[in-house]
A and B are shown apart, each in its own frame.
Chain A
Amino acid sequence: MTEPGFGALVIEGLVRLVGALLSPFSGPSERTFWPFLGSAALISIGIELRRRHGRGIAALIHAALGLGLWAHRSSRLDLQLVLARVLMEFIGLLPKLGGGAALAALWVRALDAWFGRPAPATSPEWLRTLAYGLCLFVAWDFSRFIIHFLLHRIPVLWQFHQVHHSAEVLTPLTFHRVHPVESLISQARGALVTGTLAGIHFWLYRGEAAALTILGVEALGICFNAATGNLRHSHVWLGFGPRLEGWLLSPAQHQLHHSADRQDQRSNFGTWLACWDRLLGTLRLSGPRPPAQMGLGDAPRNHEDNLYAALVGPFVGAARTLAPKRGYLLGLLATLALPATGDAATPEDSPPADPEPEDEHEAAGEILVVAPRRLPRVAGSAHKVSQEELERKESDDIHQVLAEVPGVYTRNEDGFGLRPNIGMRGGNSDRSARIMLMEDGLPLAPAPYAAPAAYTFPLATRLVGVEIYKGPAAILFGPQTIGGALNLLTREIPEEPSAEIDLGAGSWSTEKIHGWASAGGERWGLLLEAAHLGSDGFKQLDGGGNTGFERQDLMLKAKVGAPGPEPWSEVSLKLGYGREHSNETYLGLSLEDFARTPYRRYAASALDQMDWHREQASLGWAVDAGQLELNSALYYQGLQRSWTKLNAFADGPDLHDLLLNPDGGQAAVYAAILRGDEDSVSADQALALGTNNRRYRQAGLQVVARHRGGGERLSHQLELGGRVHGEKVQRRHTEQDWWMNAGVLVPNDPTVRTTLDSDTDALALSAWMHEDLRLGRFHVLPGLRLEQIRTSARDATPGAEPTSSAPIWRPILLPGIGLSVGQEPGWQVFSGLHRGFSPVPPGEPAEASPELAWTLEAGGRLDPGWLRVEAVGFYSDYDNLAGQCTLSGGCTDELLDQQFSGGEARVWGLESMVDLELPLVRGLTLVPGLSYTFTESEFLTGFSSSFPQWDSVAVGDALPYVPVHQGAASLVLQGRRASIGLHGTGRGAMRDVAGQGEIPVESKLPGAVLLDLSADAWITDRARCYLTVTNLTDAVVLSSLRPYGARPGAPLHLSLGIKAGLPRPAL
């Protein structure tokens, strides 16, 4: 079986989407099936020909097809509504009710039970067919009449049906101009009638006769549709004459029903047969001329001709209709109809300007805003590390950037932060795979669905902000929604041309060159940014050698905007390139060697090195029409990485086990080979160096619409988003044997073995909504995310049975809600509940369960301006805790990216922080800060697993790599021209393997306290020098025992730098 390629996947997704969009025109059961439209056009032309009075062909066509009507704003809304309905059905927001098959089956069962099975029919089959078809036709027509009548006569239903009647011009598309609620009602009617009739018919004849169909559609109905169905909503005035119109409704009679005249509107409710209207006295004949005006005329209407209003306005209208008087419910729902006019938008609830729009827009970029030191307006806790804080620390390591954020666990395994391990709220920090990583609101992980483990990261030095979302806010940023989301913000193009250069140097020949320049103005902008970071490394390789790295990032941003009062729009382009060459290894030390020489690297790691390069591109389009914002981005990211490193002995002990116990028997020989103290003398003692080549590609289209508005008492901010995302991961892993000879690795065998040859891919359709509804001091923040994920995998590793898993679709619906009360600035108490999720990676069987959890948080903040105190309790109740294998986590190629289920588990804890700003004398400000996170975790089931970090789990075992205690403290003295800060971070011991009680030494990562110092001073108004000292006390930190042995954090590091370009900010 040939697996579809990456392009084919994307194409498939697009084809499905296009297919859905075209569905109103591509099925014979649709009124607007294209041949029917064609027949309507031909009839129109024929009618025009009869009326032709010397006009040319073009004029005739123009008149016949009503071309002038299609550009009318009313027609635009027709089209928007049909697209909206189709899209909602496509992503599952609007259910498509079945044709009543289940109901029919119920009827058959019930009739059998009540009356028994009837005797076989003796009537001719043609008669049964005819009778069945007629019954269906009549029943459908009658039921449509009844529903239509009720839609007009019941006020609350009229609120929805008036969307159809607000059409001021009629085109065949007006048929689809219906509110989704009405659409559901119609579907329910059809299912009820069809199901009942089909059930009775089947009970009578046991399927020995079917209705007469054409193209699978009941024959009479399709004939009517093909003949004049599309002329009912058109400008073509076609009557049948007084006699016939008493039996069959003509297109003109239906157009009369669309008249702005209220009396006309209350006539001709039928579809095909006129008898129903005659019975009810609502039949009106068409007459010679069409009505003067279509639509609602002067009647009150609950919406304007825009999509949002047409979708939301009817709800408001319905609420008003249902509410006995203007009360709470009315007010609540009325806020949703902010652009509405007429009877829905009364002076007191019409939308004045949002109190914070400019601020939000400025900071928002492409995603929701969390202003620094402002109360976040998301459903849950959120933090932002601001540019100011980043510059104060001048850190080149993302771990240090996040150190003071409560609820975020980091583990710096290489000392430089090249491959960060970040987890949130108990989620495994391994390769940051359990959080949603983004850059400027777009996915950043190499393959967020198929392989979320992040082996690369943007250089921290070029970030201008980091947003951290936890709790219900995470559902805005799937697919990983349990722990939270991390959004890295890159530099925006400044309003005015500017530039900055940053030069730094430090211990271990560390060097930094970072600069950016921008040009442009109000209507356009260009930004070029480049950063280089390099170091010789702090580890000492046996036999000598460089253990450092070189990293470069390049980013180009361009934008063209159409600024103005409103609407404002901007097209932006972002291109990025990053690369790394690092002499990094997975090989650590035995615990004994670590205690003696923690920064040593064994000779067997001498050839280990990582190379990767990444390309990014995104094309964005943003529109700001005041209350409505639209952000869309087409994005691509490609990552090619190749890590050559020691994997194992050709046939020796597992390296992880060996380094935990390197002194006994044969193990000591192998350990001596790693150190270069002993030569390899047999094939089993060869060192297998693997080159793990992987290529990740992802592309997608993300569209986010936001609407906000309201007044001082009531306001709302609604976000609706959708994303089509495809990704492909190709893995080509090879191995070659090398021998240790006199402390040097020498090639032993030119044979290069392929140890893994696999492709995996994922296609994901996502949709989400998030609403922030404010009533005075209260916020209600419901959210909902839908992920529809398709995965497939192929494994063609030589020597193994080729496998190819059929594509599997997995849908998941993730609700969340937040509640808060408070005032800004001041205080806030909040709580949230949401469904956390982590997708099943490709290649897993269809029955594999994703990681799922209900997560609850509750907390409060105090923020009077000079002080911020926050405490949040969280509780995650896992239905199924999942572990995903990575090599860094200790897995082998065979288990790579496989998911393991850990069953039920729970994680709970407390996050707290205090920030202060204490003005002192002479412009000095003291800024102390404290944060503390307490986390407890436990498995609720016992099991055995091949996942190395779980192994043999007993009930009550704590999760690995989750420290119970973690905290940070900082003290910054800020002056007008200089500042100095002391930052301390500490964390308790962590387990390498799940367990409880005292942590065994071989799986214990001891607690650590680190102190960093940062200082800077403005030497001119445009130049600033800075000093950073990390690990001030030169503490030795054991940062990882995986995958092979103990690896250290970085020792004391000192660096000096100068930044020049931007003027000193006024304090």
Chain B
Amino acid sequence: MATTAGERRSKLLLSVLAGLALAYACDPTGAGKGPQEVEDALAALLADVGPKVVRPALARAIPAAATLSAKTAEWSAVAADSGDTSAARAEAQDAWMALMAVWQELEVMQLGPAASSLTAVGGEDRRDAVYSWPTINRCRVDQETVYGEWNEADFFETRLVNAYGLSALETLLFAPDAENTCPSQVDINADGTWDALGEAGVDAQRAAFATVLAEKIEADLFALDLRWDPAGDDYSGALANAGDGSSPYESQDAALSAVFNALFYLELATKDQKLGEPLGLQTCDTTSCLEQVETTLAGGSDRWIIANLQGFRALYGGGDGAGVDDLLIALDHAELATAFTDALDEADTAAAAQTLPIDRAATEDLATATAVYEAVKKVTDLLKGDLATTLALELPEEGAGDND
């Protein structure tokens, strides 16, 4: 369904673009750019998403994942030798944080293989395999820690995403003690198997499990990059060649809609889920919104906002290539491009001033966090309002009519 919703937006966009192109072609003053220029800007935007935006981010994420993999392996090795694991674990934690900082940029680039198969053209759910937040289940991770079945060949095929990925790793790496998070009736508590592990056993199991998970993340990131690699599956080409029949996108405009849907991460996740709801600035659908804050064990949720903004800026601006801003200029809306840049700068500044994780900021420094929210909102207001109006884009259903 969402696929067709995307197509719908694409058709609307197509008609708007066609209209704009015709208007420019007929513009006797020559004040606007020509239709060819618009087409070129659109083609360049799409062509640059893979090589200039997604792959550069992946290129930074993969080594970070490799580091994480190595550090968890070291932690596991120390744990297996019954040594003091605190240093090795701390290094692994640092590696996790480093990878997470890059990954939070990639969060905003959920289009194509990384995106949800439910809602996106070409979606393969690869993002969820790496990072499934907000779908996490720490008890499930604790259970798997006891079961120790991660070396079985079909382990990842038979587990849900809440049992692996960066969130599961967070549980393993940042658990404050050797206790588990499951209720007493859950098997690992009811049958005493958790307690039987003992503190050292828990640490060793966690380290071993973390190693497997880190390797999986590294492999997943590598595979994701291969999907984008022109020498591999060349999803970059699928975007660049949208509408040529071989691409999953039936038109360039469908591909452009995919880019816009990805940009909406800043509205739906960053602004609403990560800031507005936990800070109490928006009505939360549930009674425990603070629990929804990202990485409550590891902290760093403030940094992820900054990373999200960076990812947004990269996708919006096309990295060092052509982006939406160039398309806006070609469409004779340079003022809107400037407004975006200004708003993003302001959001970056506000986010940099935010030094507490969001859950703490909600109680200790609400004003600063609110400023971040407001600054991000300016960006998303442009996205939902001016840009959507300019390009006649239909909003994704979740984004329209919220309680801002």
User: Which A residues lie at the B interface, using CB under 8 A?
Assistant: 650-651, 653-654, 656-658, 660-661, 664-670, 672, 678-679, 681-686, 737, 742, 749, 751, 799, 942, 944, 948, 951-952, 993
Inter-chain CA distance A14–B131, complex, in Å, is: 65
Chain B residue contacts of A684, Cβ below 8 A:
134-135, 285-286, 292
B119 touches A657 (CB 8 A): yes
**Shortest Cβ-Cβ A-B pairs, 7 listed:** A665-B128, A683-B286, A665-B125, A664-B125, A944-B8, A664-B117, A666-B135
Given contacts A665-B127, A669-B160, contact A681 B116 (CB under 8 A): no
* Interface residues contributed by chain B, number (CB under 8 Å): 40
Partner of A678, one of B7, B119, B132, B160: B160
Inter-chain CA distance A944–B392, complex, in Å, is: 13
A/B interface sample: 9 pairs, CB < 8 A: A654-B118, A664-B116, A666-B125, A670-B135, A678-B162, A679-B139, A684-B292, A742-B185, A944-B11
Shortest distance between the CB of B134 and any CB in chain A (Å): 6
Given contacts A664-B128, A682-B291, A944-B11, contact A651 B286 (CB under 8 A): yes
Which residue, of A665, A666, A670, A686, has the highest number of chain B Cβ atoms within 10 A?
A665
Q: Does B371 contact A (CB under 8 A)?
A: no
Shortest distance between the CB of A885 and any CB in chain B (Å): 14
B118 touches A658 (CB 8 A): yes
Given contacts A664-B118, A948-B1, contact A650 B285 (CB under 8 A): yes
Inter-chain CA distance A651–B285, complex, in Å, is: 8
A653 touches B287 (CB 8 A): no
Q: Does B5 contact A (CB under 8 A)?
A: yes
Inter-chain CA distance A681–B160, complex, in Å, is: 14
Q: Does B12 contact A (CB under 8 A)?
A: yes
Q: Does B29 contact A (CB under 8 A)?
A: no
Inter-chain CA distance A666–B119, complex, in Å, is: 12
Shortest distance between the CB of A656 and any CB in chain B (Å): 7
Inter-chain CA distance A670–B160, complex, in Å, is: 10
Partner of B135, one of A661, A669, A742: A669
B128 touches A737 (CB 8 A): no
A672 touches B125 (CB 8 A): no
Which residue, of A686, A951, A993, has the highest number of chain B Cβ atoms within 10 A?
A951
Chain A residue contacts of B128, Cβ below 8 A:
664-666
Nearest chain B residue, comparing its CB with the CB of A948: B1
B5 touches A951 (CB 8 A): yes
Inter-chain CA distance A670–B394, complex, in Å, is: 27
Nearest chain B residue, comparing its CB with the CB of A681: B137
B134 touches A665 (CB 8 A): no
B1 touches A665 (CB 8 A): no
Inter-chain CA distance A650–B285, complex, in Å, is: 7
B2 touches A672 (CB 8 A): no
Q: Does B161 contact A (CB under 8 A)?
A: yes
Inter-chain CA distance A845–B118, complex, in Å, is: 34
Inter-chain CA distance A605–B291, complex, in Å, is: 27
Partner of B117, one of A654, A667, A751, A942: A667
Residues of chain B in range 159-200 having any CB-CB distance to chain A below 8 Å: 160-162, 185
Contact with A along B6-44 (1 / 0, CB 8 A): 011001100000000000000000000000000000000
Partner of B139, one of A651, A681, A952: A681
Inter-chain CA distance A658–B1, complex, in Å, is: 10
Q: Does B338 contact A (CB under 8 A)?
A: no
Chain A residue contacts of B161, Cβ below 8 A:
665-666, 668-669
Nearest chain B residue, comparing its CB with the CB of A954: B11
Given contacts A681-B137, A683-B289, A684-B134, contact A667 B116 (CB under 8 A): yes
Given contacts A654-B1, A665-B129, A952-B8, contact A683 B285 (CB under 8 A): yes
Inter-chain CA distance A993–B5, complex, in Å, is: 13
A952 touches B291 (CB 8 A): no
Shortest distance between the CB of B38 and any CB in chain A (Å): 22
> A669-B135, A682-B292, A683-B285 known; 10 other A-B pairs, CB under 8 Å?
A653-B119, A657-B2, A660-B1, A664-B124, A665-B129, A666-B116, A669-B160, A681-B136, A682-B134, A684-B285
Chain B residue contacts of A660, Cβ below 8 A:
1
B1 touches A951 (CB 8 A): yes
Chain A residue contacts of B119, Cβ below 8 A:
653, 657
A682 touches B136 (CB 8 A): yes
Chain A residue contacts of B135, Cβ below 8 A:
666, 669-670, 682, 684-685
B118 touches A749 (CB 8 A): no
Chain A residue contacts of B136, Cβ below 8 A:
681-682
Shortest distance between the CB of A278 and any CB in chain B (Å): 76
Inter-chain CA distance A670–B132, complex, in Å, is: 12
Q: Does B403 contact A (CB under 8 A)?
A: yes
Q: Does B246 contact A (CB under 8 A)?
A: no
Chain A residue contacts of B349, Cβ below 8 A:
none
B403 touches A799 (CB 8 A): yes
Q: Does B355 contact A (CB under 8 A)?
A: no
Shortest distance between the CB of B362 and any CB in chain A (Å): 16
Inter-chain CA distance A656–B7, complex, in Å, is: 18
Chain A residue contacts of B292, Cβ below 8 A:
682-684
Q: Does B247 contact A (CB under 8 A)?
A: no
Q: Does B151 contact A (CB under 8 A)?
A: no
Nearest chain B residue, comparing its CB with the CB of A672: B160
Q: Does B389 contact A (CB under 8 A)?
A: no
Chain B residue contacts of A651, Cβ below 8 A:
285-286
Nearest chain A residue, comparing its CB with the CB of B116: A665
A944 touches B125 (CB 8 A): no
Given contacts A666-B116, A666-B128, A944-B12, contact A683 B291 (CB under 8 A): yes
A952 touches B4 (CB 8 A): yes
Inter-chain CA distance A653–B125, complex, in Å, is: 13
Nearest chain A residue, comparing its CB with the CB of B2: A657
Inter-chain CA distance A668–B1, complex, in Å, is: 17
Shortest distance between the CB of B359 and any CB in chain A (Å): 14
Given contacts A656-B1, A683-B285, A948-B1, contact A666 B132 (CB under 8 A): yes
Shortest distance between the CB of B164 and any CB in chain A (Å): 11
B1 touches A683 (CB 8 A): no
B134 touches A668 (CB 8 A): no
Partner of B162, one of A656, A669, A737, A952: A669
Inter-chain CA distance A669–B129, complex, in Å, is: 12
Chain A residue contacts of B5, Cβ below 8 A:
951-952
Inter-chain CA distance A672–B7, complex, in Å, is: 29
B287 touches A683 (CB 8 A): yes
Partner of B7, one of A650, A657, A669, A952: A952
Nearest chain A residue, comparing its CB with the CB of B185: A742
Nearest chain A residue, comparing its CB with the CB of B287: A749
Shortest distance between the CB of B264 and any CB in chain A (Å): 16
Shortest distance between the CB of B317 and any CB in chain A (Å): 28
Which residue, of B7, B123, B135, has the highest number of chain A Cβ atoms within 10 A?
B135
Q: Does B283 contact A (CB under 8 A)?
A: yes
Inter-chain CA distance A678–B117, complex, in Å, is: 21
Partner of B286, one of A653, A654, A737: A737
Contact with A along B276-294 (1 / 0, CB 8 A): 0000000101111101100
Chain A residue contacts of B185, Cβ below 8 A:
742
Inter-chain CA distance A686–B124, complex, in Å, is: 25
Inter-chain CA distance A742–B140, complex, in Å, is: 13
Chain B residue contacts of A952, Cβ below 8 A:
4-5, 7-8, 11
Nearest chain A residue, comparing its CB with the CB of B117: A664
Chain A residue contacts of B162, Cβ below 8 A:
669, 678, 681
Chain B residue contacts of A672, Cβ below 8 A:
160
Inter-chain CA distance A654–B397, complex, in Å, is: 11
Chain A residue contacts of B124, Cβ below 8 A:
664
Nearest chain A residue, comparing its CB with the CB of B134: A684
Nearest chain A residue, comparing its CB with the CB of B135: A666
Shortest distance between the CB of A802 and any CB in chain B (Å): 15
Chain A residue contacts of B129, Cβ below 8 A:
665
Chain B residue contacts of A658, Cβ below 8 A:
118
B291 touches A661 (CB 8 A): no
Shortest distance between the CB of B129 and any CB in chain A (Å): 7
Inter-chain CA distance A452–B128, complex, in Å, is: 43
Shortest distance between the CB of A104 and any CB in chain B (Å): 47
Inter-chain CA distance A695–B135, complex, in Å, is: 39
Given contacts A657-B2, A951-B1, contact A799 B283 (CB under 8 A): yes
